[in-house]
Amino acid sequence: MKTLEPQQIKEIAEQLDCGFRAFIHKETLELIFIPNLDKYPEMEMEAWENEVNRLDENFTDYFEVEGMSSTESFRVMEGFMESLSDKTPLKEKLYHALNNKKPFSGFKFIIDNSGEFRQRWFKYKEESLCAYVIDQLYWLQPDKE
């Protein structure tokens, strides 16, 4: 049975995080990415015309990997905050950001100015996104009896 390589899972996670839709061919495991027009309605689709045509002509041959909802993304940010030591001043700052208006922009501002923790956040986020993608790929697993 074919399985996706870790690098392919990472690529799917990255593309979803960048606002793309991700599709996997059910037999060949070919990946197709197209912009998510729900997030970027002004995006010109000409550059992805070939991919869109392949999907239109063979849509049932592909599985779409869903991107995270804002609720799920919020939970990832909460998880990162909870993973920090209580002694870390950053934890309290992130707690306040997540419990105030505009939690996403507040969290991003604090992380962007957090020095070494910024890279830790990116690693945590990447691992969370990859786990999210893997959870959707149950159909690739051999039947368990």
Q: What is the pTM of this model?
A: 0.86
User: CB atoms < 10 A from the CB of 32, how many?
Assistant: 19
Per-residue pLDDT reduced to its tens digit, 98-137? 999 999 999 999 999 999 999 999 999 999 999 999 999 8
pLDDT band at 38 (very low <50, low <70, confident <90, very high): confident
Three-state SS annotation for 42-65:
CCCCHHHHHHHHHHHHCHHHEEEE
Q: 2: pLDDT confidence band, cut at 50, 70 and 90?
A: confident
Does the pLDDT value for residue 144 go beyond 50? no
CA–CA dist 42, 68 (Å, integer): 21
CA 63/CA 31 separation, integer angstroms: 10
Q: Distance (Å, rounded) from C-alpha 36 to C-alpha 75?
A: 22
